[in-house]
Amino acid sequence: MTGKYSLPPTGAHRPVIMGLNGMVAAGHPLATQAGLAVLRRGGNAFDAAFTTATVLAVVKPDMNGLGGDAFGLFYSSRENKVSALNASGPAPAAARLGYFQARPPKPRSGAGTATVPGSVAGWFAMLERFGTLSAAELLQPAIDYAAQGFPVNYFLFGSLTRYRDSLERYPATASIFLPGGRVPGPLERLVQPQLATTLRRLALEGASGFYLGETARAIANFCAENDGFLAEADLANFRPEWKEPIRTGYRGLTVYSQPPVSQGHILLEALNIIGDDNLAYTGLHSPETLHLLVEATRLAFADKLRFAGDPAFVAWPLDELLSPERARHHRKSIQPGEASRPAPVSPALPAMGGETTYFAVMDREGNAVSFIQSLFHAFGAGVVAGNTGVLLNDRLVGFSLDPESPNCLAPGKRPVHTLNPCLVMTPEGQPFAALGTPGSDGQVQTNLQLLTHLLDYELPVQAAIEAPRWRRSSDGILSVEDRFPAATLDQLAHWGYRLERVGHWSDKMGGAQIVMRQARSGVLQGGADPRREGYAAGW
């Protein structure tokens, strides 16, 4: 890590949070505190994750909620294995490709954009398999924040202001998020009494309180009356799926990611492509290092466009995509000192939403949770389903309408997701790091940068998060934060990269959280991204 382009691993804005008994790093301080309180009173990482997830669903309504989807990676010390959970919902049975082909363009909001919500079933599946405390106890913080309100922070105020026009379009939505016809300002309370009622039903009835009975009936009736497709049968028949995670080796550790329909394979492909390069030699933030990382992700994304679809409907050649032979082939195609030309962007490609939230939890028993959940675009479909207080997702927008696409819309099919948490394990099979970020297609790019910061340059957790970031878009634009060395950015421009400077600290670059465990001492470390409002806390 020497040379004129290197930066020392010092100077983080926030301290690394350390503890011996438990650590939570989440996308909102109230969720972090609620999860930590569960750990302090004897709950395990999965209990804390349940509370953290449900509080996030209340206090970050623009990013996630009961009407959204979730994915998780879990290490259970009792089972001594890593498991993956896909809690994303399919297209409703009544959703037909021909309906949307006959009515271009595809709608971007409204009940007709909602797939079956998966988050609630995912939370309870995790708790039932790994948890130790009751759902009723663990839901109480979320119920309290919904019923009594929580302070609107500057991030939520900005989001409410930015999307005011779409929120005003639907009276039930406006009544909650624009009380009195205005955007609630910072330091005001946002109260969601109907959502509190729905959460209380979950505390009494479990996941059935959402997918069966009064709540399910209210959601289905609302959709039937508002050009939506969700029916009671869609909700009643939904089950989250336990899956085998996908993995690869990197710098002597094992990196786990989410299998399809997540695009977690992109991260693993990129790691395989750069695996034989000595990034410590080329230097942190050098043009050579950035060029290699950017091109590796470009090649992996190209594979996604060819194969990505619901594996229940299309064949995935994962063994081929993650093979050493393919990695070597891709590596040879990267030309030094030459930016690749972007592939033509297909008009059939769906828009990717970036409104998501991520959190990580570890406990003193050695358990680890890496979890991410989303409504897709900001405030999802923009509609609150009847009197439930539940914002529906707009994930149906994530399908392609091209019949030749592996991600083409079909009833009962899941759309491809950008959501992909990451979990890193030691050679001894113990958790080393749980990490992730919101940011649509930027997720795998940010995760790649975080991993190289931690494993190639051995940056402290907070410094790894706060280091300047880049993000490549599908049209070939390379967005860069201004804190990269000027010589690096000048060289990249000379090599043909089209640069977009996004300031020193851009929320476009995600909002990462990391929890790490020191193998010898067992000390837990947590870090959270100052680009957004996340925080880490431990004890």
**433 and 338 inside one domain:** yes
Kind of pairing, strands 189-190 and 241-243?
unpaired
Catalytic residue selected from 356, 357, 437, 488: 356
**67 and 186 inside one domain:** yes
Strand ordering across the sheet containing 524-528: 17-19, 524-528, 513-517, 431-436, 422-425, 253-257, 246-250
Pair 71, 65: CB distance under 8 Å: no
Indicate the pLDDT class of residue 344, thresholds 50, 70 and 90: low
Number of domains the chain contains: 2
Secondary element (H or E) of residue 304: helix 287-307
Q: Buried b vs exposed e over 94-115: b needs ≥16 C-beta within 10 Å?
A: ebebeebeeeeebeebbbbbbb
**105 and 233 inside one domain:** yes
356 is catalytic: yes
**316 and 261 inside one domain:** yes
Please indicate, yes or no, if residue 413 is contained in any of the structural domains.
no
Specify the length of the chain in residues: 539
Please indicate, yes or no, if residue 264 is contained in any of the structural domains.
yes
**323 and 367 inside one domain:** no
Give residues with Cβ within 8 angstroms of 530, minimum separation 6.
13, 14, 466, 505
- The distance in angstroms from the start CA to the end CA of the chain is 33
At 388, list the tokens: 């439930």
Q: What is the pLDDT of residues 390-406, one digit of tens each?
A: 999 999 999 999 999 99
Please indicate, yes or no, if residue 128 is contained in any of the structural domains.
yes
Q: Tell me the average pLDDT across 272-294.
A: 97
Please indicate, yes or no, if residue 403 is contained in any of the structural domains.
no
Please indicate, yes or no, if residue 406 is contained in any of the structural domains.
no
d(CA 445, CA 436): 10
Domain boundary among 332, 363, 398: 398
Please indicate, yes or no, if residue 269 is contained in any of the structural domains.
yes
Does the pLDDT value for residue 176 go beyond 90?
yes
Domain containing 482 equals 243-350+420-524
Pair 511, 442: CB distance under 8 Å: no
pLDDT at 343: 60
**384 and 443 inside one domain:** no
Please indicate, yes or no, if residue 509 is contained in any of the structural domains.
yes
Q: E-strand spans in 389-440?
A: 422-425, 431-436
**319 and 215 inside one domain:** no
Higher-scoring residue by pLDDT: 262, 12 = 262
Query: Sign of torsion, CA 297 302 303 307?
Result: positive
Which residue type occupies 286?
S
User: What is the percent of the chain where pLDDT is above 90?
Assistant: 89
Q: Tell me the average pLDDT across 528-535.
A: 96
**344 and 367 inside one domain:** no
Q: Which range has the worst mean pLDDT, 9-13, 338-342, 453-457, 516-520?
A: 9-13
**378 and 515 inside one domain:** no
Pair 64, 119: CB distance under 8 Å: yes
Mean pLDDT score of the chain: 93
**434 and 489 inside one domain:** yes
Q: What is the pLDDT of residues 469-482, one digit of tens each?
A: 999 998 899 999 99
pLDDT at 305: 78
**284 and 431 inside one domain:** yes
**281 and 315 inside one domain:** yes
Please indicate, yes or no, if residue 65 is contained in any of the structural domains.
yes
Which CATH number goes with the domain that contains 279? Answer: 1.10.246.130
